Amino acid sequence: MKVLITGGAGLVGSVAAEYLAARKGSRVTVLDNLCRSRLFGCSRRSVEFNWEYLRRFPNVRRIQADIRDRDALRLALRGGVDAVIHAAGQPGVPSSIRMPEEDFSLNASGTLSLLEAVRKHSPRAGFILCSTNKVYGENAGSLPLRRLARKYVYADGRKGIAESMPVDNTGHTPYGVSKLCADLYAQEYGRIYGIKTAVFRMSCIYGARQFGFEEQGWVAWFTAAALLGREITIYGDGRQVRDLLYVSDLARAFDNCLRKGKTCMRGEVYNIGGGRENSFSLLQVLLKLETLSGKRIKRRFAPWRRSDQKIYISDTSKAARMLEWKPRVGVDEGLDRLFRWTRENIGLFR
C-alpha cells in the first residue's frame, strides 16, 4: 500500500506513519512543514524530533513542505497513492482565536488544496480527514449535566455524542469553524467527485511522542509539568471531561477504515475517541499523574475558555460497527506509556 500522510511529524501523523510502515510492502510518504512550535509561539523544537525519528524507517519518505504548496503535493502524489491521511493542521483553539486567518488558511484552505490535488493526481486514493469534536461546538456542551466532586456527567446518562449531533446555530471558535469547513469539503468530495473519503471527528488524542503546549495537547502538557515540577493553569474548574484515546488505537482505526475501503468511505463521518470507559476529567488525570510521579502538581485556576465543552465523550458505536474497531489501550496504560516516554526524553521539555 502507498500512503501519503500530511502532518507526518505531528503526534497523529508520525504514529500513523510508523504503524502503516510496519505493514508488509507498504510505502509511506510523510509531508510536514514543521510549524507546530511556531504556531504556539515557542522557540523550542517539538515535532522536529518525530521528523528525525521517522528517518530510521527505510520505507518512509519525508518531504518537508507546506500542504498549500501545489508542486509539493504533485510530487508527493506522483504515480498515485492508495491512501491519504490528512493530519496536518493548526490544532489549537486559543491559537485560532489569536490568528483566525492563518487558522483558516491552514485548516480549511489547506484541506481544499489537498483534496483538489488528490482529485487531479490520485483520484482512486482513500482519503481520511482528521476532524474534531469541536465541529459540534457548544451544542455538544449544552446538554443537561450534573456536577460531581471531580467531574461532570451527562444528566440523562447517555453514552456520548453521536454523529447526529447538530453542528449549526452554536458557538464553535474559529478552530471549530475552519475544521467544520474542511470536514464538509471532505464529505462533499466523496459525494460530488466520488473520492473515497472518511471524516474522523476525533476527541482527545494523546500518547508518547506528543509535544503538548498550554494551548493544545493538555495531557502531554500536564505530564511534562508533573515531571518538571512546573505549575499548570486550569481554565475552568477542572471537572471538564474528555474521552482519551491513545494514539496507536487511532492509527489502527485509520488502517481498518482503509482496508475496508469504499463501504466505509462514502463521505462517511465517524466520532472517534476513547469512549465512556476512557473518560476522565482534568482533575482525575492530574491525580493519576501525581500517582505516577509521586509528587503534587502545582496548579492555579483561571476563568473558563470560550466554548470549552464541560464534557465531551464520543459515542463510538458507528466506528465500532462499520470499522470493527474499539480502543484497546486504557487510560492507565496509555498515561503510563506517555509518562515513561516523557521522563526518558525530559531534556526536550525543559
C-alpha cell at 324: 470493527
Beta carbon of residue 40, minimum distance to ligand NAD (angstroms, whole number): 9
243 lines the binding site for ligand NAD (CB under 6 A): no
Q: Which is nearer to ligand NAD, 263 or 345 (CB)?
A: 345
Site pattern 37..56 for ligand NAD (x: CB under 6 A) = ----------x---------
d(CA 89, CA 114): 12
| Of the candidates 18, 3, 8, 1, the residue with the CA atom closest to the CA atom of residue 248 | 18
9 near ligand NAD, judged by CB under 6 A = yes
* Nearer of residues 190 and 274 to ligand NAD, judged by Cβ: 274
Is residue 204 a contact partner of residue 245, using CB atoms and an 8 Å limit?
yes
Residue of 175, 189, 246, 312 marked catalytic: 175
Q: How many residues bind ligand NAD (CB under 6 A)?
A: 27
- Residue pair 271/133 in contact (Cβ under 8 Å)? The answer is yes
Structural element, H or E, at residue 50: helix 48-53
Q: Is 129 helix (H, G, I), strand (E, B) or coil?
A: strand
Nearer to ligand NAD, 98 or 194 (CB): 98
Binding string, residues 278-317; x marks residues near ligand NAD by CB under 6 A:
----------------------------------------
Residues 307 and 138: beta-carbon distance below 8 Å? yes
Give the residue at shortest CB distance from ligand NAD: 10
Interface region with ligand NAD, contact rule CB under 6 A, candidates 8-16, 93-101, 147-155, 260-268: 8-16
Tell me if 130 contacts ligand NAD by CB under 6 A. yes
- Which of 33, 223, 240, 248 binds ligand NAD (CB under 6 A)? It is 33
Closer to ligand NAD at the Cβ: 298 or 306? 306
Please say which residue, 130 or 195, places its beta carbon nearer to ligand NAD.
130
What mask of x and - would describe binding to ligand NAD in positions 249 to 278, judged by CB under 6 A?
A: ------------------------------
Distance set, CA 74 to CA 58, 83, 125 (Å):
22, 15, 14
- Looking at the DSSP bridge assignments, the partners of residue 270 are 200
Q: Judge contact between 3 and 83, C-beta under 8 A.
A: yes
**In sequence order, what are the residues at sequence separation of 6 or more whose Cβ sits closer than 8 angstroms to the Cβ of residue 122?**
77, 80, 81, 84
DSSP string, 277-341: GGEEEHHHHHHHHHHHHSSPPPEEEEPPPTT--SEE-B--HHHHHHS-----S-HHHHHHHHHHH
Q: Is the Cβ of residue 296 or residue 306 nearer to ligand NAD in the bound state?
A: 306
Beta bridge partners of 146: 153
What is the number of other CB atoms lying within 10 angstroms of the CB of residue 106?
Answer: 24
Asked if residues 188 and 307 have their Cβ atoms less than 8 Å apart, the reply is no
Binding mask 178-217 for ligand NAD (x = CB under 6 A): ------------------------x-xx------------
Site string for ligand NAD, 89-108 (x = CB under 6 A): x-x--------------x--
The question of whether 175 is a catalytic residue gets the answer yes
Binding window for ligand NAD (CB under 6 A); candidates: 84-92, 144-152, 321-329, 334-342:
84-92
Interface ranges with ligand NAD (CB under 6 A): 6-7, 9-13, 32-36, 47, 66-68, 87-89, 91, 106, 110, 130, 132, 202, 204-205
Positions annotated as catalytic residues are 175
